[in-house]
A = this chain, B = another copy of it.
Amino acid sequence: MTINKANEVSSIYGDGFLKNIAIDAVIFGFHDNQLKVLLIEYKRTGLFALPGGFIREGDDLNTAAMQVVSERTGLQDIYLDQFYVFGDYARFDPTPLKTIMTANGSTPPDEHWLLKRFISIGYYALVDFTKVTPSPAAIFDSCEWYDLNKMPVLIQDHTKIVHKALSALRINLDQKLIGFKLLPEEFTLGELQRLYETILDKKLLRPAFQRKMLSLNILERIAKKWTGGAHKAPYLYRFKAQAED
């Protein structure tokens, strides 16, 4: 979880929020052939964390998760997936939160609701990197993209959460066909393949990849072609709207 605007006004009882439940969001982006994750840095503490939040008493869980992601990215209608609930007692560690609050002028009592044990519901989000404007939620934090391979040390078990999100993404990539949610609306098959290769961390054979993607019948070839390279221009594609079940 993360401290955000809404939490600042909360009393030590955290009135208005469900107790003991937090949301942590692993927001994935793709840029320069690298998977990126949005991370929060708390000023004057050197502490890094996943974006997160809590659930208002009258809100849906999934709505609350969407709000966390919207706040940080500035986007609506983002692809979100619950992937795991982190509920080990051992993950309970109030020290980083205490440090963050202290660094910002408050001296919370140990009974402060933010220092209690939370069970955290993990979501991952897939966003178009080019459309995101990473937004801090308060004056005392900042929000930036980090290379998945060059992440700083994160508080609590957040590093583990990121890795679990990645393996959920890998499993769902072929099943739910969600890869393109990390790409701009129009893309080439080469770009799509590099995305798959980055996520799965292995080389794929181009003819087989193209044949498979096209046979799925979810891609629409656009008249326009990509330009810029000193070679044959590839077609541009976009994803067809799918019939929902």
Interface centre among A55, A86, A89, A117 (most CB of B within 10 A): A89
Which residues of B sit under 8 angstroms from A60, Cβ to Cβ? 87-90
Q: Which residues of chain A in 17-56 are interfacial with respect to chain B, using CB atoms and an 8 Å cutoff?
A: 18-21, 55
Which residues of B sit under 8 angstroms from A121, Cβ to Cβ? 85, 87, 119
Which residues of B sit under 8 angstroms from A80, Cβ to Cβ? none
CB distance from A64 to the nearest CB of B (A): 8
Which residues of B sit under 8 angstroms from A82, Cβ to Cβ? 84-85
Say yes or no: A88 contacts B117, CB within 8 Å. no
CB distance from A81 to the nearest CB of B (A): 11
Interface size on A, residues (CB 8 A): 25
**Looking at the complex, which one of B20, B59, B90, B175 makes contact with A89 (CB distance below 8 Å)?**
B59
Question: How long is the Cα–Cα vector from A19 to B88 in the complex, in angstroms?
Answer: 16
Question: How long is the Cα–Cα vector from A86 to B61 in the complex, in angstroms?
Answer: 8
Chain B: which residue is nearest A86 at the CB level? B61
**Looking at the complex, which one of B61, B90, B119 makes contact with A55 (CB distance below 8 Å)?**
B119
A-side interface residues toward B, CB under 8 Å? 18-21, 55, 57-62, 64, 82, 84-90, 117, 119, 121, 171, 175
List 15 A-B residue pairs with CB atoms under 8 Å apart, sorted by A's residue number. Answer: A18-B117, A18-B119, A55-B119, A60-B87, A60-B88, A60-B90, A61-B86, A61-B87, A62-B87, A82-B84, A82-B85, A85-B85, A87-B121, A119-B121, A171-B175
